[in-house]
Amino acid sequence: KAQNAFAKIQEESRMSKKNSDNIRRGFFKSQAAAAAAIVAAVLVGGGAVYAAVAHYGLLDFTRNSHEEIPQEAEQFIEKDISTASEGAENDLYDCTVLEALCDSETIMIVYEVSAKERNEYLFIPEDAIPDDNMSDWTNYSNQTARDYANANNLTIVNIGGGISNIEELGISVESLRFQSVSDDVMDIYVRCGKESDESNLNVECTATACFQNASSMDDIIRKTLSFSLEDKTNANVMHYHPDKSDGNIDIPIADVQVTQTELGTYIDVTYSVDNMESIDYALRIKDGERTLDTRGGGVEVRSDGSLGGQYIVDRQELGDTLTFEAFDIEDKGTTLGTITATIE
């Protein structure tokens, strides 16, 4: 019954977050990157001495992934971030914002939750359960969280959080990833797109902790940190004018805007219709004969009420003409229609 009550709290906690359907969570499963981040080998007298690195940073979480930070953007990663704490202090954990980076379209943050009383707790991700294998978020154990906690006399605590002021920043999708530094220290990576045009942002980041015997939402321990984050990148914005559609369907694209920064290239598509159900297909984008490897996309209602979607590609120069191909989501091989857009 206690576990059922906790599962209900987990679900209520997810649903209580605005845009909860667009919060994506995952574990840091890149073991090669994890090993490189957490262990450093220093040669001493012909032997190797291993020392734990203090934490995981943005480069550790994004290395060898589609979110890898280009070298040109590394200079803009902010560290030693000054934060203001909101809410009452708690006896369980401290929270620190370790690193942050943003451009005109994206926010990336790593923050750390660490226990005040060491060697007492086992921190696991907010959506994890005691029977999950710890190899999903650690590089030092392949036991279940329950078995590991029992063997080491630790109390399991679910750790979570994310960006709190998502409406203010115009955030529609938030991605979270978790990695344990040690039993009672958890690093959390947050990445999200934003619609805010401000270059100086006020970001509020909330950490949560919940014991397995919690009986209500009131038992969730919360701490919010606020900090300033400045976009120091250089944005180059280009507009592409759509031509007439060709094929079996009309693709109602009204405008295409391409924004390029040191962090990435973003293709924003705005539709001329206001009925989301009428866009029942997906798009692939071609630059000449080359199909772009895109992330994101889809259709969402933007803050101004228009329908649109943002496609992200690795930082690159695009040609003067882009081609958008509509295809059935269940049959990617069949093109339903095309429309080209030419740079203005």
Q: Residue 202 has which token pair?
A: 């006020």
Residues 84-101: pLDDT tens digits? Answer: 988 778 899 999 999 999
User: Which residues, at least 6 apart from 21, have a Cβ–Cβ distance to it below 8 Å?
Assistant: none
- Put simply, whether the predicted model's pTM sits higher than 0.75 gets the answer yes
Percent composition of the chain: helix, strand, coil (DSSP 3-state, to 5): 15, 45, 35
More confident residue, 324 or 10: 324
Closest by alpha carbon to 72, among 101, 45, 50? 101
Q: What percent of the chain has pLDDT over 90?
A: 65
pLDDT at 3: 54
Closest by alpha carbon to 245, among 272, 267, 274? 272
**In which residue are the tokens 């039993």 written?**
183
pLDDT at 47: 37
Do the beta carbons of residue 68 and residue 108 sit within 8 Å? no
More confident residue, 12 or 81: 81
Residue 48 DSSP one-character state: E
Task: Give the other-Cβ count within 10 Å of 81's Cβ.
Answer: 18
Instruction: Report H helices in 128-186.
Output: 145-151, 166-169
Chain Cα centroid distance, residue 62? 10
**Distance separating alpha carbons of residues 167 and 165, to the nearest angstrom:** 6
**pLDDT at residue 210 tops 50:** yes
More confident residue, 26 or 165: 165
Dihedral pair phi/psi, residue 113, rounded to 5°: -115, 120
Burial class (CB in 10 A: 0-12, 13-18, 19+), 79: exposed
Angle at 96 between CA 220 and CA 51, to 5 degrees: 115
Rounded to 10 degrees, the C-alpha dihedral 81/190/198/84 comes to -40
pLDDT at 81: 95
Q: How would you label 277-306 residue by residue, b for 16+ Cβ within 10 Å and e otherwise?
A: eebebbbbbbbeeeebebeebebbeeeeee
Instruction: For strands 174-182 and 23-27, give the pairing.
Output: parallel
Residue 136: pLDDT band (50, 70, 90) is: very high
Element (H, E) at 62: helix 58-62
